[in-house]
Structure 1
Amino acid sequence: MRNPLYAPLLALSLAACATAGPDYRPPEQSAATTPGATGAFHSAQGGQFSQAELPDHWWRLYADPQLDALVEQALSANADLRSANANLEKAQAVLREAQAGRDITTTISGGETIARASGVSQHLPGTVGYDLGLAASYPLDLNGRIKRAIEASGADVEAVTAARDYVRVSVAAATTQAYAQVCAANYTLTVNRKVVALQRDTLDATRRLAKGGRGTAFDVSRAQAAVDVSEAALPGFAAQRQNALYLLATLLGRAPADYPREVENCATLPTLGQPLPVGDGAALIRRRPDIRQAERTIAGDTARLGVATADLYPQVSIGGSVGLTGPLKDFGSGSAFGFSLGPLLSWRFPNRPVVKAQIAQADAQVKADLAGFDASVLEALRQTETALETYRRNAEQAGALDRARDSAGVSAGQAGKLFRFGRGDFLSLLDAQRSLASAEASAAAARAQLVQDQIAIFLALGGGWS
């Protein structure tokens, strides 16, 4: 008998042949499209910056083969990056699962039964029956539910890829920072040892003068105190170097004790041989993986809104089945064979309030994603401007500290000459050397900080993946 609901249900499903839900389009009215976001960076002023595009492998700008090798090792062995790659493999598998929703579904069934009529003596054998069948169905996807699910999974793969790329960016920057910290600690240690050597020369001279009657024990004790204070700072720099080596080992996927010995004595700060390439805001927005992840998240959730909308309509597929059923004694006879072919309908009509609530949830999620995208763009711009401004101001400070160190060196030299020729007092000499020690340490720390500031800019710009 023909089902009286069949015709209207089929008509309704055919009326929904257009893909359910909105088609995704990149945000047109967002923080990423404003002139202030896409133009030149406000803080990128001065000859130390260039408007050139940031290269993918920005660490090669330091022209340091040892650094290049370390970054490549980290990108192939880092545990966090391996985890991110595994997450990407999982997302790709989910996509393949969604794509399989378009394939023909087959079901093979079989069974055997023994039946005995009611009231028949239990000693009599029952009737042995069988049931064998093969069923197949093909989804027509008239309302695009499967299509939207595939779109959502595809966008998820791209979002997870962007998350993996951001881990790559972070690993490259952290490796370069750790390497620079090792070199900076050795560099600062060398500078401070020179200061200690100068102060020891003064201590030896003071002892000789005291023996000759031109100095006092008080002068010797003050000179010794100056040496002791400067030497007390040396273990701290050694600890900084060792801690950076342990960090470097972890980034390379090794145990801390297995740190790269070839880096241990690096004492030259990584130096750029050209102005720092920063590009502009538009290039930043295109490059930053977290912004791309936020944009792909919008695309995926927009597709999921289509999946939810498709549940308002019947799901239609073409199905067919063939089978053999009956008593085992009649197996293979024509009367045991049967088949069916026709459209199959599935519709959660009584649950329309639930479906509409799910649509509202999906729509709200898209709105939240749009806000999150704007937040990602604005945060990326803030981080970059902050890093640029910090570097610019610290470069000015480093220049001033270099000049102060040079002046302190001249002053300490003059004070030493005056003291040795008996024309200056010992307190003035100690004060000049104390000022030199402070100026040397400050200038060295400022130069080391500039390298960290450069790396912070590269990280903020999102460099390190291609």
Structure 2
Amino acid sequence: MRNLSCAPLLALALTACATAGPDYHGPEKSVATAPGATGAFHSGHDALFAQADLPDHWWTLYADPQLDSLIEQALAANTDMRQADANLAQAQAVLLEAEAGRTISTNISGGETLSRPSGVTQHLPGTIAYDLGLSASYPLDLNGRIKRAIEASNADVEASAAARDYVRVSVAAATAKAYAQVCAANYSLGVNRKVVALQRDTANATRRLAKGGRGTAFDVSRAQAAVDSSAAALPAFEAQRQNGLYLLATLMGRPPADYPREVESCAALPTLNAPLPVGDGTALIRRRPDIRQAERAIAGDTARLGVATADLYPQVSIGGSVGLSGPLKDFGSGSAFGFSLGPLISWSFPNRPVVRARIAQSEARVQGDLAGFDGTVLEALRQTETALETYRRDAERAAALDRARDSAALSATQAGKLFRFGRGDFLSLLDAQRSLASAEVSAATARTQLVQDQIALFLALGGGWK
């Protein structure tokens, strides 16, 4: 049983001493390196924007402690975040499994047999034999198969971390949008209630004038119709506020009924007091987690190409075993002991066409990853340019609607004075107040949309993680 000689086949394995497969290098000839992708944003040249880098926690730019607290709670308890954390833990466990491939593997075996020569009577005793053994092997990894598997698992861990960061970005943005929805609903409620109060005052004044003979029942009914029309919009804003509160609860990992009561009365829109920092294309590509995830997918599949290539060569390990075997009556004697030591080689040489097919699959997967990476970069740039342009144009629209509201307010005040002093007709007053109501609502809607645009831009820029 003793064997201390090294197998001559070890020389054959030395042909695979180089690490199989290509070494990974970042995508050099890709959209991410094109001049049009790395410079300043086309739609970012406006006083609304600053070329400074976006801070990790962009929501702190609103200087709103309540918003900060909500996002902190959501990031700690959100179910999508918990799932992303679990996915990362799973990838880390797979990496540990791959690294364990470099350790010594052992095997313990044991058994006994009862044998009796054929043709003898069943009453004669047989011979009891035993076999006890301990074997161990250590992989030499001459072709780098285990090394490439570890590289692939490392890349998968980093891709899972990037996926978790993207979930974090999305949760932070969704929480900010839900909070803004609640505040915007209360803000719009305040604006519309002010309009209703103004129109109700006009309706009451019209009734008094009608009793004094200076108005008609038709004037009264038209004034009341304006009040009822504006009041009909209030329930929709109340529903919008409540729905935003329910969404906040869900994002924070709570049942909808357990929504944050402290947010219910928020009536001021989140406001930026400085230009919004957007950086440039290079900073965006470096910061966006989905781009990092796509790049790590290339690295992982490149390493798996090396794993597939390694199957072209023999797998070599150093193995040894010790054991006791023989008749039970000789248990423990020197003749029962044996050991062996030497290289162990396995090679699926007849299946080389299968291995070649797997290599071709891996190469195609890497090419697909490269295309996916370019697509992710292009989509990130498109989203950002779109968000910049939308915010810029909506800001211009909001400013114009603010001016229109101020003009409508002045016109309504003038029409009210003319009517009270008998120098204007009631129809002109109603028309001026109707225009004011429409202008107030439009200006409020534009202002709330600006906040949503800001958050959408922050999401496109990929901020929210370190």
CA distance in 1, matches of 2:12, 2:71: 59
**How far 1:368 moved relative to its partner?**
0.2
CA distance in 2, matches of 1:465, 1:187: 30
**1:42 and 2:72 aligned:** no
CA distance in 1, matches of 2:200, 2:71: 41
Check the 8 A contact 1:166/1:290 in 2, yes or no: yes
Q: Which residue of structure 2 aligns with residue 454 of structure 1?
A: 454
**1:208 and 2:181 aligned:** no
**How far 1:27 moved relative to its partner?**
0.6
Q: Secondary structure at the match of 1:316?
A: strand
String of CA shifts for 1:104-129, please: whole Å, max 9, x gaps.
Answer: 00000111211111111111222111
**How far 1:211 moved relative to its partner?**
0.3
Q: Which residue of structure 2 aligns with residue 339 of structure 1?
A: 339
Q: Secondary structure at the match of 1:20?
A: coil
Q: Which residue of structure 1 aligns with residue 368 of structure 2?
A: 368
Q: Secondary structure at the match of 1:107?
A: strand
CA distance in 2, matches of 1:38, 1:12: 50
Q: Which residue of structure 1 aligns with residue 230 of structure 2?
A: 230
CA distance in 2, matches of 1:77, 1:448: 28
CA distance in 2, matches of 1:12, 1:335: 35
CA distance in 2, matches of 1:143, 1:182: 61
Check the 8 A contact 1:12/1:313 in 2, yes or no: no
Check the 8 A contact 1:50/1:278 in 2, yes or no: yes
CA distance in 1, matches of 2:212, 2:326: 126
* Corresponding letter in the other structure for 1:18: A
Q: Secondary structure at the match of 2:143?
A: coil
**How far 1:215 moved relative to its partner?**
0.4
CA distance in 2, matches of 1:125, 1:243: 85
CA distance in 2, matches of 1:224, 1:22: 79
String of CA shifts for 1:212-244, please: whole Å, max 9, x gaps.
Answer: 001000000000100000000000000000000
CA distance in 2, matches of 1:119, 1:461: 87
Q: Secondary structure at the match of 1:76?
A: helix
Q: Secondary structure at the match of 1:136?
A: strand
String of CA shifts for 1:350-381, please: whole Å, max 9, x gaps.
Answer: 00000000000000000000000000000000
CA distance in 1, matches of 2:157, 2:17: 27
Q: Secondary structure at the match of 2:26?
A: coil
* Corresponding letter in the other structure for 1:455: I
Q: Which residue of structure 1 aligns with residue 52 of structure 2?
A: 52
CA distance in 2, matches of 1:187, 1:356: 66
Q: Secondary structure at the match of 2:322?
A: strand
* Corresponding letter in the other structure for 1:120: V
Q: TM-score, normalised by structure 2?
A: 0.98
Q: Which residue of structure 2 aligns with residue 357 of structure 1?
A: 357
Q: Which residue of structure 2 aligns with residue 261 of structure 1?
A: 261
CA distance in 2, matches of 1:11, 1:107: 27
Q: Which residue of structure 2 aligns with residue 396 of structure 1?
A: 396
Q: Secondary structure at the match of 2:130?
A: strand
* Corresponding letter in the other structure for 2:138: Y
String of CA shifts for 1:308-351, please: whole Å, max 9, x gaps.
Answer: 00000000000000000111111001111111111000000000
CA distance in 1, matches of 2:332, 2:11: 40
Q: TM-score, normalised by structure 1?
A: 0.98
Gaps of 5+ in 1: none
Q: Secondary structure at the match of 1:102?
A: coil
String of CA shifts for 1:42-88, please: whole Å, max 9, x gaps.
Answer: 10121110000100000000000010000000010000000000000
CA distance in 2, matches of 1:12, 1:166: 48
Gaps of 5+ in 2: none
Q: Which residue of structure 1 aligns with residue 136 of structure 2?
A: 136
Matches within 5 A, 1:109-188: 109-188=109-188
String of CA shifts for 1:4-30, please: whole Å, max 9, x gaps.
Answer: xx64x4333201100000000001100
Q: Secondary structure at the match of 2:265?
A: coil
**1:270 and 2:266 aligned:** no
Q: Which residue of structure 2 aligns with residue 380 of structure 1?
A: 380
Q: Which residue of structure 2 aligns with residue 241 of structure 1?
A: 241
Task: Provide the aligned length of Structure 1 versus Structure 2.
Answer: 462
* Corresponding letter in the other structure for 1:232: A
* Corresponding letter in the other structure for 1:12: L
CA distance in 2, matches of 1:324, 1:43: 80
**How far 1:197 moved relative to its partner?**
0.2
**1:217 and 2:225 aligned:** no
**How far 1:304 moved relative to its partner?**
0.2
Moved more, 196-205 or 11-20: 11-20
